[in-house]
A and B are shown apart, each in its own frame.
Chain A
Amino acid sequence: MLGYYLSLAIRSLRRSPGLTALMVLTIGFGVGACMTTWSVFRAVSGDPIPAKSSKLFVPQIDTWGPADRSADGEPPDTLDYTDALALMRDHRATWQSAIYLVAPAVLPTDASRTPIPLSGFAVSGEFFPMLDVPFEYGSGWSQTDDARNAPVAVISAALNRKLFGGADSVGRTISMDGHDYRVVGVMKYWNPQPIFFDVVDTGAFGGDGPDVFLPFGTAIAADMQNAGSINCPKGRTPSAPGFAGLRRSVCVWISYMVELDDAAAVRRYRAYLDGYAREQRQLGRFDWAPDNRLRDIMAFLDHEHVVPGDTRVSMLVAIGLLVVCLVNTVGLLLARFLRRSGEIGVRRALGASRMTIVVQFLVEAFLIGAGGGLLGLLFTGIGVLGVGQVLPIYLAGLARVDAALLLESMSLAVTATLLAGCYPALRAACVAPAWQLKSQ
């Protein structure tokens, strides 16, 4: 029976090619616009570490007091050196790491080559198991390495290719900013977007992934300066010059992340943070009541407004376009179906049930939706290419066409058209057989 409906539908679609083309084009445009903007939105709003995002938290400590809170009354989003050290020392979470951006230059051992500028992070060894960083060779460093500020490093696969031709370089030495570091691990390609472990410095998107990781204490001891942003409260810039002055100041520049495995652990950590703030108050460092935050990763990304407002607005406008296209399709399908009232009347008079008529017309709507979907795929492809050309540079590489996007485009087109076809099909099924016959 479905075959018969299909052949009926195809015949009907051929009868008015103009109207058919118009509907297919409309659906195609609507779906194309929606999926193009969706490709960007999904890229920037995605969960960078789905398996663990609910267990990873960012503590924020109210180091500056009420007078220096941001306009929305929030404490700073990074830590100063004193607080970061205290949190690491107290070690109250399953895993924890202070994180700061560094930009050392590596001197290849082979003398003919020029230094290579790198981008990396100083972290604690717990960073790697906490964030499930994948390794090609070796692993992260141990707690002992952290404790004695060992000169060790984890490098990226790309840097490993550049320096060691991609061989297993664990145990080899690289020289950065005049210090030698022993390679303990080589990562597989790792570049989560948004760059959730240091949104504040990285702007969340872009880059080819970090080149190198060094132990936090080692980097500090080597005077490896912070390459990321520094925020100081009004009028309280460092009183001493240099990196040493920054470490003694109340300026914030260190990102922090902890893993807390269940609700009880989260509660305990909150209590710990407040206890810490109260203790600082007793010590005279703070003179205000604790006002700390402990957000999980997705909440923190939201707090940092990682998804650009433009992305949301364009997606909403594109959805609006799709709605208009659907309203249009409802109208055109209605016209198309009711034009065949005569045919319907005859079929009904010959015993076709209402249901049969509805199914027949839905098959036709399905065909139009499938056609619109195919065209929509084409438009989505063109759209994603085009949108990559006009997005801000840091987002341009993120919008991608993949199997999931194509599947979503197709199902959106078919579902939307079937929905749009429901009302016209029901209306068509209501055509009274007798009246149509009489008027013939």
Chain B
Amino acid sequence: MRLHPTLAALRRHKTGVLLIALQVALTLAIVCNAVFIIAQRIERMERPSGIVESGLLHIEQQWLDAPRSDSAGAVEKLDVMQRTDLATLRALPGVQEVAASTSFPILGVIWSGQLTRSLTPGGLSVHVAYYYGDEQLRSTLGLHLLAGRDFTAGEILHRTIRGTAAAPLVIVDKPVADKLFPHGDALGKTIYQDGKPAVIIGIVGRLQTPRVSKWVAGWSYNSVLEPVRLDGSFVSYAVRVKPGQQKAVMREARKALFAVDPMRWMPRSWGIWPFSRMRARAYRGDRGMAVLMGAISLILLCVTAAGIVGLTSFWVGQRRKQIGVRRALGATRADILRQFQLENLFIVLIGVALGVVLALALNLWLMSRYELQRLPQLYLLAGVAVLLLLGQLAVFVPARRASTVPPVVATRSV
């Protein structure tokens, strides 16, 4: 009975109804997927790296006068240079611990390879990132030793990255241990790193690989610590500072290293970085995508609300006489208000019904082309609720104006 005048009115504005419904549908489809993209990016950005991040610095530099060859003499000289740097850094006040380290979680140089349990081809193989460093690497990064022991200073090898000497001992992180030895008995076992044997002497908690790109998807926590100081003209260090000393150490470390050997390249922009900046840089694209999707969603909702206000205002203007008649026949202000709100509810319902289908279709398409995951139903439900609410809020302004039309309008000839 109450629905009747509403539907009758809508039939006279087919195009308008269709346009609003279409707009609602498109908005729902886009906003649901955009918000889902935002949620996924935030989840990605908040993944733990596995290390203690605060108070950690990364120093990266290149010796410009370093010997550039793999001859024994050159390698020896490079190693002396590196050990001098390490000693210099360790002597600085405010520094807690320093390690030789080629790689850094999230944003660093990555060396990767395959770990296997046996040499027979076709067996279980785990893709891992190798962290080359010295006996202080684990503790400097703040990795928790779950089982076994650290490397000792005497076990640390040194070579260039093109050297072929393989470490006989390794520390693996838990995901690697669990994948290779599902029964939890990885400690003390021999594994093969690209065909070269090594014994697992320690297991640490998970450690994120030095990359966040698509390439590492599926093995982003498979990391292995290698007792190898890599010699080369590019060398980097991990430094853990005492609380509150970060700025001072960054300043002093640069000064001290240049005092030891001025022939090095250590740009102000990335020579010494707090870990927090590396994290921000690595995830900058994800944050940007989230910001962009957020901005577009917000604009979409505003545009849709504005569209509803605009068209409903027009209908109210057109139907003033009809409203007056209804009022004269005894309809209360609340009845008129309810009529428009019901009308809007009806239109938006058509829109969201279409929108849910569109949202799922868009999601499927994004899944097939851009590796988005399946849209959880929660997002659809929330999207439907938001649009219904948005419609009701948007229609309220013109509907209230409609309800103030006096009954006497009915008697006027415009």
Contact = CB atoms under 8 A, between A and B. Distances in A.
B65 A115 contact: yes
A225 B289 CA distance: 37
A247 to B, nearest CB: 11
A334 B164 CA distance: 75
A391 B68 CA distance: 36
Nearest to B70: A242
Given A114-B262, A392-B285, A440-B414, A330 B299 contact: no
Contact of B303 (A178, A234, A325, A389): A325
Interface stretch (B181-189, B221-229, B310-318, B328-336): B310-318
Contacts of B114: 234-235
B64 interface: yes
A328 B19 CA distance: 7
A177 interface: yes
Contact of A328 (B307, B366, B369): B307
A241 B162 contact: yes
B89 to A, nearest CB: 21
Contacts of A177: 68
Interface in B90-138: 113-114, 125
A240 to B, nearest CB: 7
A327 interface: yes
Interface stretch (B3-11, B21-29, B44-52, B400-408): B21-29
Contact of A324 (B62, B262, B303): B303
A237 B164 contact: yes
Contacts of A390: 284-285, 287-288, 291-292
A308 B314 CA distance: 44
A427 interface: yes
Contacts of B70: 241-244
Contact of B304 (A223, A324, A439, A440): A324
A321 B299 CA distance: 8
B37 interface: yes
Contact of A235 (B195, B288, B289): B195
Given A238-B162, A314-B292, A320-B26, A26 B303 contact: yes
A338 B19 CA distance: 15
Given A19-B310, A242-B70, A317-B34, A310 B289 contact: yes
Interface string A374-390: 00000000000001011
B30 A223 contact: no
A143 B300 CA distance: 60
Interface in A13-33: 19, 22, 25-26, 29-30, 33
A52 interface: no
B306 A328 contact: yes
B263 A331 contact: no
B296 interface: yes
Contacts of B16: 331, 334-335
Contact of B370 (A26, A116, A313): A313
Interface string A171-183: 0000001100000
Which of B19, B29, B194: most chain A Cβ within 10 A? B19
B299 A29 contact: yes
Contact of A331 (B23, B159, B162): B23
Given A327-B19, A334-B19, A242 B69 contact: yes
Interface string B67-98: 01110000000000000000000000000000
B26 A324 contact: yes
Interface string B37-62: 10000000000000000000000001
Nearest to B315: A335
B19 A309 contact: no
A323 interface: yes
A334 to B, nearest CB: 6
A321 B265 contact: no
Contacts of B162: 225, 238, 241-243, 245-246
A282 interface: no
B15 interface: yes
Interface in B124-165: 125, 159-160, 162-165
Nearest to A226: B162
A105 interface: yes
B194 A105 contact: no
A245 B164 contact: yes
B371 interface: yes
A105 B265 CA distance: 10
A332 B309 CA distance: 10
B120 to A, nearest CB: 11
Given A321-B30, A391-B288, A440-B414, A242 B68 contact: no
A439 B220 CA distance: 73
B337 to A, nearest CB: 21
A117 interface: yes
B296 A318 contact: yes
A393 B289 contact: no
Contacts of A270: none
Nearest to B312: A335
Which of A310, A389, A395: most chain B Cβ within 10 A? A310
A388 B209 CA distance: 27
A385 to B, nearest CB: 13
B160 A324 contact: no
A422 to B, nearest CB: 13
B296 A33 contact: yes
A321 B300 contact: yes
B253 interface: no
Contacts of B287: 390
A381 to B, nearest CB: 15
Given A33-B299, A427-B15, A309 B371 contact: yes
Given A324-B23, A331-B311, A117 B64 contact: yes
A312 interface: yes
A328 B292 CA distance: 21
B287 to A, nearest CB: 6
A152 B177 CA distance: 52
A331 B299 contact: no
Given A237-B164, A327-B23, A22 B310 contact: yes
Contacts of B303: 26, 29-30, 321, 324-325, 328
A339 interface: yes
B115 to A, nearest CB: 11
A112 interface: no
A224 B69 CA distance: 9
Nearest to A222: B68
A320 B292 CA distance: 13
7 nearest A-B pairs in the assembled complex, by CB-CB distance: A390-B288, A242-B70, A335-B314, A115-B64, A392-B285, A328-B307, A331-B19
24 contacts: A26-B303, A26-B307, A29-B303, A105-B65, A115-B64, A235-B195, A240-B164, A241-B70, A241-B164, A242-B70, A309-B369, A310-B285, A312-B369, A313-B37, A317-B30, A320-B30, A324-B303, A327-B23, A328-B23, A328-B304, A331-B311, A332-B311, A392-B288, A427-B15
Interface of A: 19, 22, 25-26, 29-30, 33, 37, 105, 114-117, 177-178, 223-225, 234-235, 237-246, 308-310, 312-314, 317-318, 320-321, 323-325, 327-328, 330-332, 334-336, 338-339, 387, 389-393, 395, 423, 427, 439-440
Given A237-B164, A313-B366, 12 more contacts: A29-B303, A117-B64, A234-B194, A238-B164, A242-B162, A332-B307, A339-B318, A390-B284, A390-B291, A391-B284, A393-B281, A439-B414
